[in-house]
């Protein structure tokens, strides 16, 4: 799909500050990404169901579609990209260590390379992955939250430009994850959904073209912030 949805500041949804986390949810964290049930700063976010994604001037958000399900989002800004996916995780144990090891094996097995380094969220992977026959540098970030895991992949200009990297790191830091109470297997993707106004536009366009609402052979929906 190639629909572009423009959201002006005055029309953008504002996130509602959630109540403070109780003792059962573990210790209160000092910075995000945030859980929907813990206290977090109020800021401008787009509601994607399982994720509330911060938006800013010049941001473009493209949604990742698998079949008829939205499973992730990509934030594009200043020739840089941050791809984010949220997954269910066990109540008491984080999975980033396991996921990191799996990623390292997969990347090297596919002809790429990676090494672990310390980043703003703790351990991360600095990798080079094969794309169109060439090795492209990327960073894999991971954050374990209360019964969820958030993975981010930074690419583009932000790999070599610290200022561009900080913009995307701040986006990652300000994401709110809405895990929900439903039973989910560890590593099961937390499903996302289109914002109401975007969904209506997509439905109208899909109906005119006679194709499915979420068609994997068309570019995913986009949300662009303009000022």
Taking only the tens place, the pLDDT of each residue in 58-84 is 999 998 888 778 889 999 999 999 999
For the stretch 164-210, pLDDT in tens is 999 999 999 999 999 999 999 999 999 899 877 665 544 445 455 55
- pLDDT score for 77: 95
- pLDDT score for 207: 53
- pLDDT score for 30: 76
User: Under DSSP, is residue 93 helix (H, G, I), strand (E, B) or coil?
Assistant: coil
Tell me what the mean pLDDT of segment 149-153 comes to.
98
Spatial separation of the C-alpha atoms in residues 92 and 100, rounded to whole Å: 18
φ/ψ of 14, rounded to 5, equals: -110, 135
Spatial separation of the C-alpha atoms in residues 73 and 171, rounded to whole Å: 12
Average pLDDT, the chain: 81
Q: Across-strand partners of 124?
A: 117
φ/ψ of 68, rounded to 5, equals: -110, 25
Spatial separation of the C-alpha atoms in residues 192 and 190, rounded to whole Å: 7
Sign (positive or negative) of CA dihedral 32, 37, 38, 43 = positive
């Amino acid at each position: 799909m190639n629909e572009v949805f423009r959201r002006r500041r005055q029309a953008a949804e504002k996130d509602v500050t959630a109540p403070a986390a109780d003792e059962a949810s573990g210790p209160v964290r000092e910075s995000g990404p945030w859980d929907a049930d813990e206290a977090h700063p109020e800021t401008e976010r787009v509601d994607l169901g399982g994720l509330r994604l911060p938006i800013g001037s010049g941001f473009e958000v493209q949604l990742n579609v698998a079949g008829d399900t939205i499973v992730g989002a990509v934030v594009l800004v200043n020739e840089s990209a941050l791809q984010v996916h949220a997954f269910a995780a066990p109540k008491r144990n984080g999975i980033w260590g396991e996921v990191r090891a799996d990623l390292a094996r997969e990347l090297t097995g596919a002809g790429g390379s990676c090494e672990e380094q310390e980043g703003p969220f703790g351990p991360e992977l600095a990798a080079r992955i094969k794309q169109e026959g060439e090795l492209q540098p990327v960073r894999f970030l991971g954050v374990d939250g209360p019964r969820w895991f958030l993975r981010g992949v930074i690419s583009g200009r932000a790999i070599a430009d610290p200022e561009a990297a900080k913009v995307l790191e701040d986006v990652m830091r300000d994401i709110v994850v809405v895990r929900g109470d439903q039973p989910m297997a560890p590593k099961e993707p937390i499903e996302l959904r289109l914002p109401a106004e975007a969904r209506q536009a997509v439905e109208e366009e899909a109906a005119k073209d006679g194709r499915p609402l979420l068609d994997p052979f068309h570019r995913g929906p986009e949300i662009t912030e303009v000022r």
